[in-house]
């Protein structure tokens, strides 16, 4: 699919709109057919949902982001455009926007994630570097997060064959700063990727989204060293939820950095002592390249003009516990499309939170 420049601009603007997360972004496209039409409808949808004072991001702010990307040679990749990676398009929900510095084509190749501890042992770094080199020689792109320790070692081992660094901040945010030289090498010989706006600095809340992209781009994720409470285990959990394979390098029970991989092995992860283990583990993986297709509006003749009473009834059925939209539809004896439209409007008004899989909370 090839999008017009006006539609690409509108999709970036929609993605940067308050209260429009990835779930709402996808549903707005499904409901209105384009970001341009969705943006036109947004003020009325927010008012219908019961909120006031809504403003879209100014046009000049979006133009400034595009100009900032152009200055450093970054590529804007939007959902449904030709360069959007098929594996990410298959996620629920897919990421709406990516900024990429380097070779965009690497994002669509077979890839394996290699992640682990920032304060890694010398042995762990050697294992990560060696695994990354072997994976590259076997034809895989290696994906990681540019952090110190295991991530940096994995990138260094795969520079010659193809590596992708996924960042929490903007694609121009070199973090940590002491990996600046490695960042430059990856831009030149691999790819650096981020969902975040140009110029943004990484915050704690950004790293789960970063980890979701690492696992989403990969057919499988290898955890080399990680403590029990670590971002690497979050990446492994996300990989499992996304239908990817999870691999763990076993380690000494005396080293806290081995507790994460060893726990993953107890939970059923593949043992990883070398490339052969990864190849065997990936042989049974189903292909995950079909775009995510959940469309609650596909059978709707008209989902506009929902009255306030219906919206209030839908809102009343929500709770802090995720509630599937089909349960709400059964409770109200209403079409799924009407409930989905109501949940979308409530989320835009700040009265609900849309979740993957068609659920919502308050």
Q: Does pLDDT of 267 surpass 70? A: yes
What element of type H or E holds 209? helix 206-217
Q: Which domains does the chain have, with CATH numbers?
A: 102-282 (3.40.50.450), 308-361 (1.10.10.10)
Residues in CB range of 324: below 8 A, 6 or more apart: 357, 358, 359
Give 1-53 pLDDT, tens digit per residue: 689 999 999 999 999 999 999 999 999 999 999 999 999 999 989 988 888 87
* C-alpha to C-alpha distances, 113 to 22, 103, 216, 247, 349, nearest whole angstrom: 23, 17, 9, 10, 37
Give 312-325 pLDDT, tens digit per residue: 999 999 999 999 99
CA 220 to chain centre: 15
Contact 169, 192 (CB under 8 A): no
Would you state the pLDDT for residue 30?
92
What mean pLDDT is reported for the chain? 92
Give the confidence band of 229 by pLDDT, cuts at 50, 70, 90: confident
> d(Cα 157, Cα 134) in Å, to the nearest integer?
8
Give the confidence band of 299 by pLDDT, cuts at 50, 70, 90: low
Give 81-140 pLDDT, tens digit per residue: 888 999 999 999 999 999 999 999 999 999 999 999 999 999 999 999 999 999 999 999
- Cis ω before 93 (30° cut-off from 0): yes
Q: Is 109 exposed, middle or buried (0-12, 13-18, 19+ CB in 10 A)?
A: middle
Would you state the pLDDT for residue 289?
53
Q: What is the mean pLDDT of residues 193-207?
A: 92
> d(Cα 161, Cα 164) in Å, to the nearest integer?
11
């Amino acid at each position: 699919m090839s999008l017009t420049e006006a539609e690409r601009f509108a999709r970036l603007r929609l993605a940067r709109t308050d209260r429009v997360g990835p779930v709402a972004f996808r549903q707005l496209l499904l409901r209105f057919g384009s970001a341009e039409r969705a943006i036109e409808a947004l003020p009325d949808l927010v008012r219908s949902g019961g909120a006031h004072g809504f403003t879209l991001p100014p046009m000049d702010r979006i133009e400034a982001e595009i100009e900032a990307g152009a200055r450093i040679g970054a590529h804007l990749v939007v959902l449904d455009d030709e360069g959007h990676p098929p594996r990410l398009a298959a996620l629920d929900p897919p990421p709406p926007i990516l900024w990429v510095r380097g070779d965009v084509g690497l994002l669509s190749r077979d890839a394996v994630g290699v992640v682990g501890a920032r304060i890694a042992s010398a042995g762990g770094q050697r294992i990560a570097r060696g695994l990354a080199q072997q994976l590259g020689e076997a034809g895989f792109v290696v994906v990681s997060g540019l952090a110190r320790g295991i991530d940096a070692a994995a990138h260094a081992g795969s520079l010659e064959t193809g590596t992708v660094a996924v960042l929490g901040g903007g694609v121009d945010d070199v973090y940590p700063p002491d990996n600046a030289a490695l960042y430059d090498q990856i831009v030149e010989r691999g790819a650096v990727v981020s969902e975040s706006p140009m110029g943004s600095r990484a915050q704690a809340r950004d790293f789960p989204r970063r980890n979701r992209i690492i696992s989403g781009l990969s057919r499988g994720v290898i955890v080399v060293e990680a403590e029990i409470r670590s971002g690497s285990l979050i990446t492994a959990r996300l990989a499992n939820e996304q239908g990817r394979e999870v691999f763990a390098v076993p380690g000494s029970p005396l080293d806290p950095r081995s507790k994460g991989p060893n726990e993953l092995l107890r939970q059923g992860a593949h043992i990883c002592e070398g490339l052969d283990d990864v190849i065997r583990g990936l042989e049974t993986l189903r292909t995950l390249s079909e775009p995510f297709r959940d469309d609650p509006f596909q059978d709707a003749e008209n989902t506009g003009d929902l009255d306030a009473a219906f919206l209030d009834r839908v809102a009343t059925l929500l709770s802090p516990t995720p509630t599937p939209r089909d349960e709400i539809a059964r409770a109200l004896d209403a079409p799924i499309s009407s409930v989905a439209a109501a949940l979308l409007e409530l989320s835009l008004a700040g009265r609900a939170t849309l979740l993957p899989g068609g659920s919502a909370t308050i």
